[in-house]
Amino acid sequence: MKFDLTKEFLREITEKLDRQEYNLVKKELSELHNVDIAELIDELDDDYGKILFELFEDEDSAEILIELDEESRETVLEDLSSQEIAEDLIENLDSDDAADIIADLPSQKKVEVLSHIEDIDHASDIVDLLAYPENTAGGLMAKELIRVNEKWSVLRCVREMRKQAEEVDKVYAIYVVDDHDVLLGTLSLKKLLLTPEKNLIKKVYNEKVISVKANYDDEVVANIMDKYDLVVLPVVDDLNRLIGRITIDDVVDVMKEEAMEDYNKASGISEQVDSSDNIATLTRARLPWLLIGLVGGILGAQVMGIFDIESHIELAFFIPLIAAMGGNVGVQSAAIIVQGLASNSLGMDTISQRLLKELGVALLNGLICSGLIMLITFLIGYPSSISFTVSISLMAVIIFAALFGTFVPLILDRYKIDPALATGPFITTVNDVLGLFIYFMIGKLFLDL
């Protein structure tokens, strides 16, 4: 049932393609889902990938195409004429997938492909969709949907649905509109099955329908579909006229990207990269944090130069401890707030309520850690003045980092800046340098550095 691509299988297929045993390959792959075949083509060398792709036709090849990664898709498309792309592939795709494919083509080819689409409605749907920016509701929606008029009877509704169903692959919802195409509500399949054929739609449809406008941000769309547990969401224009629908599978991708972006920010990776990107891209994505860390490190060195460390060299031994603990606490605090904001679980708390709570957590953790460090350094045999200074500093740094880590994302959010920046390099580096400064200020106070 579940397919796992192995190196052996890949080699086997390559060898069969080499020996031109195409029918054998097709037979062997006949049990596989098109998603798996796309994965196989992604992993094959370009030439073999092309050959394999061309073994499939019509709906299968169209479905495989949309599942390919960007690179393989380009490879596969570059040998096809505009007419082949239009007639064999685009005609077999829903408008949203078709628009995604066409959007990635070179502009010359884009026009050619569009002109070769025979179904003029399909072509016009695609052109409509190409106008919406990628990261909006419009960029996610498809034009294919089932719409029925409120004035129709159930019987007429079923008859019309039969016509429309030829265009719509999967029916998740039936939308009820008025004569001007204004979205009025939805009709569940259940109601349709259970209502006598002569009844009017207007008597049985559900008026509580959640919709979005085409210019809504895709992350807002994802939040709405998640919050209301929706599988499909209608898209309307400014006059509330039904223009499309978004299905959950496309939104799942948005959610995953969002989670990945936050994860990357927390890990100090600036662009949206993944492990398959090349060395230059990966380096570029990672360098900014390192450069900011570098500046922070140099600032840290300058801060330490102010103090007379030589007189109490043992203090230097605990720099890594203080730096690591301050950093950890800061990241923890910021991460909890960033997640709370993303999932809307912060509720109605004010900033000062959050800071107070965080102070509680920091005091508890700080007391435990400071107590331990005092005990351990004493047991190891450090001078008690050093033990004392290090534990007091640790306490102070933990409290500072916790409050700083909580405050920054909340303030960023209030000013409509992405709070996830608080887990990023700039804030963590500022946190580091200030922590170090606190450490040596306390050292100065107690040990006269």
The CB-of-109 to a copy of itself minimum distance in angstroms stands at: 27
Choice between 139 and 419, CB closer to a copy of itself: 419
Among 35-43, 85-93, 104-112, 197-205, which window interacts with a copy of itself (CB under 8 A)? 35-43
Q: Encoding tokens for residue 189?
A: 């399949």
Exactly one of 72, 82, 136, 332 binds a copy of itself (CB under 8 A); that residue is 332
In the region spanning residues 162 to 181, those forming contacts with a copy of itself, defined by CB under 8 A, are 162, 165-166, 168-172
Choice between 124 and 240, CB closer to a copy of itself: 240
Per-residue binding string, a copy of itself, 238-267, x by CB under 8 A, is: ---------xxx--x--xx--xx-xxx-xx
131 near a copy of itself, rule: CB under 8 A:
no
383 near a copy of itself, rule: CB under 8 A:
no
Choice between 111 and 259, CB closer to a copy of itself: 259
Helix-helix angle 70-78:58-67, to 10 degrees:
140
The CB-of-120 to a copy of itself minimum distance in angstroms stands at: 22
Among 107-115, 132-140, 369-377, 441-449, which window interacts with a copy of itself (CB under 8 A)? 369-377
In the region spanning residues 346 to 365, those forming contacts with a copy of itself, defined by CB under 8 A, are 346-348, 354, 357, 360-361, 364-365
The CB-of-197 to a copy of itself minimum distance in angstroms stands at: 12
In the region spanning residues 62 to 121, those forming contacts with a copy of itself, defined by CB under 8 A, are none
Choice between 190 and 416, CB closer to a copy of itself: 190
Give the count of residues interacting with a copy of itself (CB under 8 A). Answer: 123
The CB-of-262 to a copy of itself minimum distance in angstroms stands at: 6
329 near a copy of itself, rule: CB under 8 A:
yes
Among 79-87, 117-125, 130-138, 424-432, which window interacts with a copy of itself (CB under 8 A)? 424-432
In the region spanning residues 278 to 297, those forming contacts with a copy of itself, defined by CB under 8 A, are 279-280, 282-283, 286-287, 289-291, 293-294, 296-297
Choice between 81 and 311, CB closer to a copy of itself: 311
Q: Which of 190, 191, 192, 180 lies closest to 149, judged by CA?
A: 180
- In three state form, how does the secondary structure of the chain look? CCCCCCHHHHHHHHHHHHCCCHHHHHHHHCCCCHHHHHHHHHHCCHHHHHHHHHCCCHHHHHHHHHHCCHHHHHHHHHCCCHHHHHHHHHHHCCHHHHHHHHHCCCHHHHHHHHHHCCCHHHHHHHHHHHCCCCCEHHHHCECCCEEEECCCEHHHHHHHHHHHHCCCCCCCCEEEECCCCEEEEEECHHHHHHCCCCCEHHHHCECCCCCEECCCEHHHHHHHHHHCCCCEEEEECCCCEEEEEEEHHHHHHHHHHHHHHHHHHHCCCCCCCCCCCCHHHHHHHHHHHHHHHHHHHHHHHHHHHHCCHHHHCHHHHCHHHHHHHHHHHHHHHHHHHHHHHHCCCCCCCCHHHHHHHHHHHHHHHHHHHHHHHHHHHHHHCCCHHHHHHHHHHHHHHHHHHHHHHHHHHHHHHHCCCCHHHHHCHHHHHHHHHHHHHHHHHHHHHHHCC
Measured between alpha carbons, how far is 82 from 108 in angstroms, rounded to an integer? 10
132 near a copy of itself, rule: CB under 8 A:
no
Choice between 105 and 171, CB closer to a copy of itself: 171
411 near a copy of itself, rule: CB under 8 A:
no
The CB-of-256 to a copy of itself minimum distance in angstroms stands at: 7
Exactly one of 28, 43, 59, 128 binds a copy of itself (CB under 8 A); that residue is 43
Choice between 113 and 325, CB closer to a copy of itself: 325
Per-residue binding string, a copy of itself, 201-230, x by CB under 8 A, is: -------x-xxx-------x---x-xxxxx
Among 46-54, 85-93, 147-155, 158-166, which window interacts with a copy of itself (CB under 8 A)? 158-166
416 near a copy of itself, rule: CB under 8 A:
no
Residues in Cβ contact with 176 at an 8 Å cutoff, skipping those fewer than 6 apart: 147, 148, 149, 150, 183, 184, 185, 186, 187, 201, 202, 205
Choice between 179 and 249, CB closer to a copy of itself: 249
Which strands sit side by side in the sheet containing 146-149, from one edge to the other?
Answer: 146-149, 174-177, 183-187
